């Protein structure tokens, strides 16, 4: 404990900042350029760190530098220190002026075309000086790269909370459902009764078979004793699917959340062929981490925005 106290008194934030820059850039020269300081200053900061800690932090090689096992351990904690410091500064700004602040959000790409813009619009309408930084990715990337890497404070994604990795926790925002949709000019749009068997041989726009949604669609048809439909167009983007289906020649599958927020110009019709349960949309955060006031405020707005969608229609 005494050594830890001695080391903590000798450590400086500029040294940790240099450590992060060198690890990210892979060389002292590039790190110096990114920090707008000279290379000798960066080299001195790393040397001071190694002297204080008594371990080598980087291995030097012909292609640059790489963190040692000691360097990687310190990097993990350094990211956490700067993340907590950034959150603290944001919290102080918010306490000084509740209309201001910063929030870093991760979001699954398909949710970023409808839900996230609606949430940001609602928050900024009341608090126009709050600024947002958004990172997009699939659930594994958002969890590993952005949340555990402390690049974002919270992330919105489709996942069951019990399936989250170690160090993460989540709350369900909305239990979404998947619907078969057609364009308003499709011959199926006027049908009052439609079965899955009717639609097997139609032209479909579907996600890849290994995609969670593509797998759900295939399983739904199999449970009905039918062969899954063959995709004429394979794409994992809900935005691309909706645009193509609206033209009238293809059928597709889209979630309730996407359909609620899609622009009115996309003329789509939900076919009466039943719904498919999707993984819930959840807000995921680091476990045992106190959210900043801005993040808590965002969470409150998120629940207000999705509450009307939870009512039976």
**For domain 97-174+281-310, which CATH number applies: 1.10.645.10, 3.40.190.10, 3.50.50.60, 3.30.590.20?**
3.40.190.10
What is the pLDDT, as a whole number, of residue 294? 85
The CATH class given to the 2-76 domain equals mainly alpha
Residues contacting 86, CB < 8 A, separation 6+: 102
Residues contacting 37, CB < 8 A, separation 6+: none
Residue 311 CA to residue 304 CA, distance in Å, equals 12
Fold match between domain 2-76 and domain 177-277: no
Element (H, E) at 231: strand 231-234
3-state secondary structure 206-231: ECCCCCHHHHHHHHHHHHCCCCCCCE
Structure tokens at 63: 């292609």
User: Block means of pLDDT (10 residues each) for the chain, length 313 residues?
Assistant: 64 81 87 87 86 85 83 79 72 68 89 88 88 92 90 92 89 92 93 93 93 90 94 92 93 91 87 89 89 86 83 50
Residue 179 CA to residue 311 CA, distance in Å, equals 17
| Domain 177-277 is found in CATH 3.40.190.290 | yes
CA dihedral 20, 25, 28, 30 (to 10 degrees): -130
Radius of gyration of the chain (CA): 25
| CB environment 284-306: b (16+ within 10 A), e (fewer) | bbbeebebbbbbebbbebbeebb
Where do the domains of the chain lie? 2-76, 97-174+281-310, 177-277
Residue 13 CA to residue 81 CA, distance in Å, equals 9
142: helix, coil or strand?
Answer: helix
Residue 140 CA to residue 159 CA, distance in Å, equals 10
223: helix, coil or strand?
Answer: helix
Q: From its phi and psi, is residue 36 left (phi > 0), alpha (psi between -120 and 50) or beta?
A: left
End-to-end CA distance of the chain: 61
What is the pLDDT, as a whole number, of residue 313? 47
Residue 48 CA to residue 52 CA, distance in Å, equals 6
Residue 272 DSSP class: E
For tokens 């999707």, name the residue: 278
């Amino acid at each position: 404990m005494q050594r830890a106290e001695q080391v903590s008194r000798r450590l400086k934030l500029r040294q940790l900042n240099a450590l992060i820059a060198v690890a990210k850039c892979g060389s002292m020269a590039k790190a110096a350029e990114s920090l707008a300081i000279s290379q000798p200053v960066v080299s001195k900061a790393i040397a001071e760190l190694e002297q204080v800690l008594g371990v080598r932090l980087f291995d030097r090689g012909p292609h640059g530098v790489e963190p040692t096992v000691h360097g990687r351990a310190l990097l993990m904690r350094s990211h956490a220190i700067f993340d907590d410091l950034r959150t603290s500064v944001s919290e102080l700004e918010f306490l000084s002026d509740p209309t201001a602040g910063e929030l870093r959000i991760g979001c699954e790409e398909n949710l970023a075309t409808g839900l996230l813009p609606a949430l940001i619009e609602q928050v900024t309408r009341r608090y126009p000086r709050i600024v947002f930084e958004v990172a997009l990715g699939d659930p594994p990337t958002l969890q590993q790269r952005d949340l555990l890497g402390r690049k974002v404070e919270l992330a919105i994604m489709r996942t069951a909370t019990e399936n989250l990795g170690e160090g993460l926790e989540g709350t369900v925002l909305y239990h979404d459902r998947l619907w078969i949709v057609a364009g308003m000019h499709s011959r199926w749009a006027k049908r009052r009764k439609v079965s899955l068997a009717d639609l097997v041989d139609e032209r479909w726009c579907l996600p890849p078979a290994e995609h969670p949604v593509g797998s759900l669609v295939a399983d739904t048809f199999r449970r009905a004793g039918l062969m899954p439909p063959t995709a004429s167009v394979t794409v994992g983007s809900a935005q691309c699917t909706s645009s193509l289906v609206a033209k009238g020649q293809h059928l597709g599958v889209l979630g309730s959340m996407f359909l609620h927020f899609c622009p009115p110009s996309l003329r789509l019709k939900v076919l009466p062929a039943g719904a498919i349960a999707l993984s819930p949309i959840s807000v995921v955060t680091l476990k045992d981490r106190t959210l900043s006031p801005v993040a808590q405020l965002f969470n409150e707005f998120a629940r207000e925005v999705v509450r009307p969608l939870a009512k039976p229609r």
